[in-house]
Amino acid sequence: MFAISPLPELADIADHWGRGSIRTLAGMGIVSGFPDGRFNPNAAVTRAEFVSMLMRALGLEAKPEAAAMLHRLVAER
């Protein structure tokens, strides 16, 4: 495992087939689960969640000015 941070307690992954991968990604800070301690491993991943995981995996940071520019471009259409 490549843990760089303490693993969150994810109560609902104990018997899940993906437990090892989930714990690895949680340790790397790519996934974290929900504030109530659940991970919900069988739920579908939304586009926003996927993009968030991808950005963390690639070490990218969100830039508010880029988001503002995108909102302006969409509003102009």
Q: What would the two tokens of residue 58 be?
A: 């690639």
At 76 the three-state DSSP class reads helix
Total-model pTM: 0.72
- Quote the pLDDT of residue 65: 86
pLDDT at residue 59 in the model: 92
- How far apart are the C-alpha atoms of 31 and 54, rounded to whole Å? 10
**pLDDT digits 0-9 by tens, 4-57:** 566 778 889 999 999 999 999 998 999 988 888 899 999 999 999 999 999 999
CB 28 within 8 A of CB 3: yes
**Band of the pLDDT at 1, cuts 50, 70, 90?**
very low
**pLDDT score, position 2:** 52
Contact between 18 and 41 (Cβ < 8 Å): yes
Calpha distance 37→54 (Å, rounded): 22
User: Which residues contact residue 17 at a Cβ distance below 8 angstroms, ignoring those fewer than 6 apart?
Assistant: none
